[in-house]
Each structure stands twice: as structure tokens, then as C-alpha cells.
Amino acid sequence: MMQADLTSISWLSLAIWLPILSGVLVLLLGGDQKATLTRWLALAGSLVSFLVTVPLYTLFDVQDGFFQFEELFPWIPAFNIHYHLGIDGFSMPLVLLTSFTTVIVVLAAWEVITKHVAQYMAAFLIMSGIMIGVFTALDAMLYYVFWEAMLIPMFLVIGVWGGPNRVYATVKFFLYTLLGSLLMLVAFIYLYHQTGSFELADYYLLPLSMKAQIYIFIAFFMAFAVKIPMWPVHTWLPDAHVEAPTGGSVVLAAIALKLGGYSFLRFAMPIAPDASHYFSTAMIVLSLIAVVYIALVALVQTDMKKLIAYSSISHMGFVTLGFFMFGQLALEGAVVQMISHGFISSAMFLSVGVLYDRVHSREISAYGGVANKMPVFAGFAVLFAMANSGLPGTSGFVGEFMVILAAVKFNFWVGFFAATTLIFGAAYTLWMTKRVFFGDVANHHVAELTDLNKREFLILGILAILVIGFGVYPQPITEVMQATTGEFLKHMAISKLPVTGY
Amino acid sequence: MDNMQFDLLTLLPELVLLGMAMFILLLDLFILPQNRSIIYGLSQFTLFAAAFFTFKTHTPAVGFAFSHMFIDDTLSDVIKMMMYLGTSLIFVYSRKYLQDRNLYRGEFYAMVLFGLLGMMIMVSGHNLLTIYIGLELLSLCLYSLVAFDRDNPRASEAAMKYFVLGALASGMLLYGMSMIYGMTGSLDVSAIANSIMQQDKSPVLIMGLVFLVSGIAFKFGAVPFQMWVPDVYQGSPTPMTLLIGSVPKLAAFAMTVRLLVQGLHPLAQDWQDMLMLMAILSIIIGNFSAIVQTNLKRMLAYSTISHVGFIMFGMMSANANGFASSFFYISTYVLTSIAGFGIILLLSRQGFEAEEIDDLKGLNQRHPWFAFMMLIIMFSMAGIPPTIGFYAKFTVLQAAWQAGFTWQVVLAVLMAVIGAFYYLNIVRKMYFDAPVDHAPLTAPVDMRFVLSVHSLALLGLGLFPEILLSVCGRSLLMSLQ
């Protein structure tokens, strides 16, 4: 009885609109004069928004490989567009990751952001709702609206609260993403005229010629590859990450990049399965370039945030690599990698944020011997660095190991190059850790450092528990997606080419 | 139909407007300057009354008057309603500006109302001459309105340019009409269509079409007839720019429907190509020129040219879907551009025009609320969801795609990214830069309120675009049957 009542609630709509409404509320009630009220309001909003996504996990039916929690209403009948929401094993963990990260971001901004507090908090709350919309939309137009709407708050976040070169970075970010998205819109227009609807399910069933599939795949690729980002369209990311405020970097790394990965699974691959197979070699090569080459680029960075940004690209290479090998293990590994990277990259950026708030420099050379002054913080930072380089027992290991295992089975050399990340990843992360944290105290800035306060300890502590928790026991993530992965691979194996010759 | 009384009843909104405009002109002679608000109130009342009568006399059936010279269908009624709304907003936004510059005179209101009358006649014209008369009435009012600030040399120059080029365009239009008359023997729009259907295509007819399309393109401001747009936009006092850039586009659209669709649809293949070329060129030239502008009004002028390109994108499809999408695009464009110029008017004050892009610097720190409004407006112009401007772009692109214009759609999409750049530039100045100007807003409460509701409507309509989409789509379909 209780169960029936709970499932009748529109959890997904709540997950989308609650953060957006609390963002508006923060904007209306908050302000720089009432900064404390604003912060508590934002925290309350983000916590409530997180709580309403928890039932998505507890009420989720792991046996069901199709969409759950569906909501369907006509939205724009003139174009047969629906307000259609639903989640499966791929999107559910990402929804939770989004709402959780928002809480972290609000906490991380607590005393750090003093300029336009209400606008900052509101931007992140609204962005959280919009991103959950992207993950849950099952109508292509609804999805597209959320996808592009996300650009507006992100543009402002980087531009208003970012670093010295923020304007260049944010405009670049916006235009890069917009270009890709508009080509995706063209693909949707094509599909709309083929099926007469924007319903994702109709697109899945639509037979398409190879030529059409190739064009559609390229259009989607432009949109998603920019977002993930894949080599060679990754150049906006280091700029955006470096200039964004800590919260912005966290959201970009933890969630925004996942939008691209998720969209490959939701749109590009199932709509154009034959083209996906056709392009799989190219995609694997691009992914490997990202994994190996970008890791080498990360090695030579002198800016901590830039290093983590490149490391993100390299890790996302694993995700696309996992997608395009079309195997259960590879796919699950890729999704686990997305979730785990969400925690680890957030933690890494937050750690840089802790240092930046005290010293106001992101240069590695400005530090040295931080561990002497901040032992607790150094403990956390080393843990996250280990996780980032894929140490067994941390969540970073699980996804990478699954993908590498699948890759070796798929082709030895693919596996070989993928495995180099364990060396390079460890090299750049640990080398940075060594230079920043160990050795003698480098200068008077470092000498004046104070260790973590309670708020910072809380944030990093939660993330550390999650990183170790999922590293030791990843089943909560893998279990929910098993059925979905099975259905996905079944779908991908069936050609959509029109049958000819009768 | 021969019943004169019935004819007059069909024209009731126009007659009300005519009577009131003349009354306002007369009344202004006997009114003291400090009581000018009466004129303002009366003008708003006139619009309301005209809207009332348009609504009251509306029937789903198509009505004709004066032996088919005048048509009253759903499309014309819907467009007229939009025009009343647009004009009313213009009155609200321009009042303070006019007061500050000693331009707050009765003639302004009378002239705008006469111009509106001209547009209404264009919208309802079912005969080449009716359309032409409406167009001339509108144009003459606009010319004199641009020169309204008599002692302003830039405005006079703009008026002169506008007049010379406008007269040339009118001449071309008239010349085209005369050729079509020569070939078909009629000035009536449906009679022309019937006649063309029964004869072979002749070069004279095509020449007539070319001149006609040129005239239309001039009124829209499409490339290669766009030269007047930037100069007139920049030179005119902002309320006049607001007027020129908004409501007349609706009239030009109606004129296009009457002439090209209802009259010359048998020649669709020919005008399709012309519109396509103009659309592509307008989008490219408009967007690239807008990037380098430092004057906000001039930038908006070039952006208008690119919007006109998108409008023609819908029309070049030459089917109901295409024209419905163009209509939707124009309605949203008019709404958005009135709001955009409204912000310029809001920020200007006595002795200060706020028309440079740099004048918007740091607006978020001065007036976060109106910075947010301008943000909505700019994203709507750039076509970023969830604002209404996105659906406008989407509808015309899908219509063009349906009609088979594949590479054109891809090109337009790429140009939309260029367009986004200069709109973003404004948002950037407002949000990321420090303010240079710290003067408080002097705008009256009613203007602030209306402008806020107006801008939020761009967002609200973006969340629920169905209302406007179906109004535009249905009214167009009803009149094309």
C-alpha cells in the first residue's frame, strides 16, 4: 500500500523543478546583505532536492531494463512534442550524482563566494535542475531545451565568478557547445520529419539508411564529443575549468562532461547503431588518443587546475572507449567510470579550491611542503590522488579495470594503450602531489597555511567515504544498470538498415 | 456584399482608428502642454477600442468589403491584434523619452496611429492598389516620424535616406504591380491568381514579380535592399527606431502573404529562389556586420537583417508550414525587439542616450533585475532555449528542411552561432564588466512594470510556446484555404 503511494508521486518532475524553484526563491529572497540567509536557503534547497532523488534509487526496479518513473504529458501539440520523463539504469545514478554534487557545491561556496551570493547559489541550483532534466528527458525536444538551457547559467558562473581570463574562457565554452548542439538540432529536425514526433522510442524503432545514419551520427558526435570532450574538440575544457570558480569546475567535471557521455548512450548509439559500429574503430582510436596523449599533456602542466582538467579528458577517454567496444563489461565499466570520475574530479577540484582560497595561486610551483602545515588536508589529497590514478580499493580503479579488461579481450593493443593510463595517470597525479604536499615548506605563504576547517573537512570526508566505499563495494552502481546494459546491447546488435530485396 | 452598411461594418476598427486619430490631432491644438497625458491616454484608449471592435467583428468566415478591395479574415484579425499590442507597448516605453527631449507632442501619437491605420489597410488589402495605399500611408508617417526631432541633424539625415530609398522601393513595387496588371488584366489578388493559372509564364510577369519582390524585400530590410536599415535605426530617435523595427514587419509579412501566396502562388517556383538567395545573404551579411558594431542600435539593426533572413527562410518554403513558421518568427521577433529597445529607452535619460553597447557595462551591479530582463531578451534573440526565440528559429528551420533546403538549414545553423556571439557580448558587458555609469533609473513605474512583464513573457512563452504557435499556425491556415 505504502509502496503504491510512493510510486504515484512524480519524483522526476520534483527532481527537476524543486532545485529550479529553490534557485528562483534564493534569487528573490536572498542578496549580498542577507548572505547568511541566502546560504542557508540554498543549502536547504539543495538538500531537499537531493532527498527527492533518493526514492529514485530505493524504488528502482533493477530487473527492469527499460524506462521507469515515466511521466508523459503533451507539451507542444503543434509539433507533437511531449513532456516525457523517465530513467533507466544509465541515467538514475547520474541523476543522483547531480543532486548530490549540488549540495557539495553549495557547501563549498559557503564563505568563499562573497560577490553576488544569491546569484551564485541560484545559478547552481537552477543548473542542477536543468541537468537532471537532460538526464531524464525522453522527448528529443524536451531534452534539447534542457541541454541548451544549461549553457546560460554556466556561462554566467564562469564569467562572473571566474579567474582572470574568464571572459575568453566562457565565451569559448558557450560557442563551442552551441555549435555542436545546433547540428544536433538539425539531426532532430531530420528525425522529426521522418517519424512525425520527437519521441525517443519512435527514433529507436525507425529504420534508417546507412547514409542517413552516418550523417545523424556525425551531427550527434559534434554535440556530444564537444561536451565530453573528446580529442580534438577538447580545447575549451582546460580554459573553462581553469577560469571557473571551484563550484563551476566541480559541476563541469562531475556532471557536465557526463551529459555528453550519457547522450551517446541515449541518442547517438541507439538511433544510429549501424553507423556506431561503422565508426567504432575511429571512436576507439580517438578515445585512445585522449587516454594516452592527453595524459602526457597533463604531465607537463604547471597549473593544478589545468592538470586536473586534462586528467578529466583522459579519464573520459575511457568512457568513450568503453562505449564503443559493445560489450557488457566494457559498457558497465564506462558508466561506473563516469560516476566515479564525478566523485574523484569533484574532490580534486575542491582540494585545489582549498589551497586556492588560502594562497590564491593555482601554480604547482607556488607550493611545496603543504603536508607539514596541513596534515589532515594532505591525507585527503593523497587519497584522492591515489583514486585519480586508479589505485585498487578506490572507485577510480573499478571502472578503469573493467574497461581495460574488456579492451584486452577486444584487442590486445587497445588494451595495452588503455592500460598505459595506470602508469601515466599515476605519474602526473602523484608527481603533482609530491611537488605540492611533500618536501620542505617552500615559502611564507605555505608556512602561514591553516588546516581544514569543519566545513571543508565535512565535504572532503563525505567524498572520501564515497570514493573508498564504491571502490570496495561497487555493486550498488553495477547492479542497477545490469538489466539496462543488456537491453542496450540487444538493441545495438540489431541493424536498423531498411530491409531490401523483396 | 453590395450593402454599403455591411462594408462599413467590416471596416469598423479602421474607421474607429481613423476617427480617433483625427480627433487626437485636433484636440492637441486646444490642450495645454501640461495636460498632454490626456492625448497619451486617449491614444491608448483608441488602441483598446480598435482591439475591441476587431475582436467583436471577428468571424471565422472570410469577409470582403468594397467589391473585394478589402479582406477581413482570421489572419488579418490576428495580425491587427498583435499590432495594437505592439503599438501600445511602444507608447508606454517611449513616453518618458519623449518628455525628456521635448518631443512629447500630440503629433507623435496621431502620426503613429495613422501609420498603424496604414498597416491595417496593408494587412487587409486584397487589391494591389489597396495594399499600395496602405503601404504609402505607413511610409509617409514613418518618414516624418524619423524627422520628428527637427533640430537633430542625424535624424534629419536618416529621414532623408529613408525617404529617398523608400520612395524608390515604392516605385519599384508600383512598377511591378503595373506589369502584373498588364499581364493579368486585374488588380484583384484572387483574380490575378486565377489569370496566371490559365496562362503560360511570360517574361513580363517574371519581371513584374522581380520588382514586387524587391519592393517587399526593401520593406523588410533584406539584403541586397538593406542599406537603409543601419543608418535609419541609428539616426532615428529611439522610439522611432522601436516603431520602425517592430510592428511594420508584421504588415510587411501580411503584404507578402497577400501578394506572393494569395496572388502569385502559381509563380512560387520563381519567387522561392529569390527569397532563398535573399534569406541566405541576409543571414550572412547581417550577422557578420553585427559583430563589429559598437553602437547598440546599429548592432540591433544588423541583427534585424539577419532575423529577416530567418523570416524569409520560412517563406521560401512556399507552403503553409513555412508561412506559419515565418509568422510565428515575426511575432516573436516583434515582441523581442520591442523589449530590447524598451531597455535602451529605460536606461536613457535627459541628455543621455544609452545607445552604445558600453553603456550597458555592469548593468548587473546597477540594476540586477533589468540586467536579467535584458539577458532574457538577448538569449531570445540568439535563439537559446528556454526563451521563445529558440522556437522561432526551430520552426523556420524545420519548415525549410521539410521543403528540401538542406544545406541552407545547415548554413543558417552555423550563422546562428555567429549571431550568438554578439548577443553574448552584450550579456558579457552587463554581467562581467564593472559599471562606468552610476546614474539611477528615472523611468516611471508603469514602464518598469510593463517592461518586466513583457520580458518575462519571452521566458514564459518559451516554456509554453503552444499558445502562440497554434494561434499563428491556425490563423494562417484559415486564410490560405
pLDDT digits (tens, 9 = 90+) for A243-265: 878 888 888 888 888 898 899 88
User: Average pLDDT for residues A274-283, to the nearest whole number?
Assistant: 88
Spatial distance between the Cα atoms of B292 and B294, rounded to a whole number of angstroms:
7
Is A12 touching B (CB cutoff 8 A)? no
pLDDT recorded at residue B1: 45
Q: Residue A147: pLDDT band by 50, 70, 90 thresholds? A: very high
Contacts of A148 in chain B (CB under 8 A): 384-385, 390
Is A77 touching B (CB cutoff 8 A)? yes
User: Average pLDDT for residues B61-85, to the nearest whole number?
Assistant: 88
Cell of A475: 555493486
B372 min Cα distance to partner chain A (Å): 11
Of A78, A148, A170, which has the smallest distance from its Cβ to B384's Cβ? A148
- Cβ–Cβ below 8 Å for A77 and B470: yes
Query: Within 13 A of A307's CA, how many CA atoms are on the CB side?
Result: 25
- Cβ–Cβ below 8 Å for A149 and B421: no
Q: Residue A277: pLDDT band by 50, 70, 90 thresholds? A: confident
A190 min Cα distance to partner chain B (Å): 7
Of B398, B416, B431, which has the smallest distance from its Cβ to A189's Cβ? B398
Please say if the pLDDT value at position B351 is more than 80.
Answer: no
pTM score of the predicted model: 0.91
Is A76 touching B (CB cutoff 8 A)? yes
- Cβ–Cβ below 8 Å for B397 and A193: no
Please say if the pLDDT value at position A161 is more than 90.
Answer: no
Nearest C-alpha in A relative to B432: A160
Spatial distance between the Cα atoms of A300 and A305, rounded to a whole number of angstroms:
13
pLDDT recorded at residue B3: 60
User: In 3-state terms, what secondary structure has residue A23?
Assistant: helix
Nearest C-alpha in A relative to B378: A152
Is A6 touching B (CB cutoff 8 A)? no
- Closest by Cα among A147, A207, A150 to A183: A147
Q: Residue A292: pLDDT band by 50, 70, 90 thresholds? A: confident
pLDDT recorded at residue A501: 44
Please say if the pLDDT value at position B136 is more than 90.
Answer: yes
A150 min Cα distance to partner chain B (Å): 9
Contact B108, B98 (CB under 8 A): yes
pLDDT recorded at residue A4: 57
- Give per-residue pLDDT as tens, A182-236: 989 999 999 998 888 888 888 888 888 888 889 999 999 988 988 888 888 888 8
Q: Residue B84: pLDDT band by 50, 70, 90 thresholds? A: very high
Of B395, B413, B431, which has the smallest distance from its Cβ to A183's Cβ? B413
- Give per-residue pLDDT as tens, B279-295: 999 999 999 999 888 88
Please say if the pLDDT value at position A502 is more than 70.
Answer: no
Is A164 touching B (CB cutoff 8 A)? no
Q: Residue B4: pLDDT band by 50, 70, 90 thresholds? A: low
pLDDT recorded at residue A500: 56
Is A166 touching B (CB cutoff 8 A)? yes
- Cβ–Cβ below 8 Å for B417 and A178: yes
- Cβ–Cβ below 8 Å for B384 and A151: yes
Contacts of B417 in chain A (CB under 8 A): 175, 178-179, 182
A488 min Cα distance to partner chain B (Å): 30
Q: How many C-beta atoms lie closer than 10 Å to residue B164's C-beta?
A: 12
Is A236 touching B (CB cutoff 8 A)? no
> Secondary structure of chain B in the HEC alphabet?
CCCHHHHHHHCHHHHHHHHHHHHHHHHHHCCCHHHCHHHHHHHHHHHHHHHHHHHHCCCCCCEEECCCCEEECHHHHHHHHHHHHHHHHHHHHHHHHHHHCCCCCHHHHHHHHHHHHHHHHHHHECEHHHHHHHHHHHHHHHHHHHCCCCCCHHHHHHHHHHHHHHHHHHHHHHHHHHHHHHHHCCCEHHHHHHHHHHCCCCHHHHHHHHHHHHHHHHHHCCCCCCCHHHHHHHHCCHHHHHHHCCHHHHHHHHHHHHHHHHHCHHHHHHHHHHHHHHHHHHHHHHHHHHHCCCEHHHHHHHHHHHHHHHHHHHHCCCCHHHHHHHHHHHHHHHHHHHHHHHHHHHHCECCECCCEHHHHCCHHHHCHHHHHHHHHHHHHHHCCCCCHHHHHHHHHHHHHHHCCCHHHHHHHHHHHHHHHHHHHHHHHHHHHCCCCCCCCCCCCHHHHHHHHHHHHHHHHHHHCCHHHHHHHHHHHHHHHC
- Cβ–Cβ below 8 Å for B432 and A75: no
- Closest by Cα among A495, A456, A480 to A378: A456
- Closest by Cα among A232, A189, A418, A214 to A325: A418
pLDDT recorded at residue B481: 66
Contacts of A186 in chain B (CB under 8 A): 397, 401, 409-410, 413
Question: Which 8-state DSSP code applies to residue A303?
Answer: B
User: Average pLDDT for residues B211-226, to the nearest whole number?
Assistant: 89
Please say if the pLDDT value at position A1 is more than 50.
Answer: no
Length of chain A: 502
- Cβ–Cβ below 8 Å for B469 and A78: yes
> Secondary structure of A240-259 in the HEC alphabet?
HHHHCCHHHHHHHHHHHHHH
B412 min Cα distance to partner chain A (Å): 10
Work out whether strand B63-65 and strand B70-72 pair parallel, antiparallel, or are unpaired.
Answer: antiparallel
- Give per-residue pLDDT as tens, B364-418: 888 888 888 999 999 999 988 889 999 999 999 999 998 888 898 999 998 988 8
Is A21 touching B (CB cutoff 8 A)? no
User: In 3-state terms, what secondary structure has residue A69?
Assistant: strand
Please say if the pLDDT value at position B38 is more than 70.
Answer: yes
- Give per-residue pLDDT as tens, B308-348: 999 998 888 888 888 999 999 999 999 999 999 999 888 88
Contacts of A116 in chain B (CB under 8 A): 364
pLDDT recorded at residue B135: 93
- Give per-residue pLDDT as tens, A323-367: 888 888 888 888 888 888 888 888 888 888 888 888 888 888 888
Contacts of B385 in chain A (CB under 8 A): 144-145, 148-149
- Cβ–Cβ below 8 Å for A175 and B420: yes
Beta-carbon contacts of B61 under 8 Å, excluding residues fewer than 6 positions away, are none
- Closest by Cα among A226, A202, A186 to A313: A226
Please say if the pLDDT value at position A133 is more than 90.
Answer: yes
Residue among B372, B393, B427 with most chain A CBs within 10 A, to mutate: B427
B141 min Cα distance to partner chain A (Å): 38
Is A358 touching B (CB cutoff 8 A)? no
Is A195 touching B (CB cutoff 8 A)? no
- What is the sign of the dihedral through the CA atoms of B469, B472, B478 and B481? negative
Q: A-B interface: how many C-beta pairs under 8 angstroms?
A: 85
Cell of B350: 535627459
Maximum CA extent, chain A: 82
Residue type, B271: W
Cell of A410: 577486444
pLDDT recorded at residue B309: 92
- Cβ–Cβ below 8 Å for B424 and A193: no
Residue type, A77: P
Q: Mean pLDDT score of chain B, rounded to an integer? A: 89
Contact B341, B93 (CB under 8 A): yes
Is A80 touching B (CB cutoff 8 A)? no
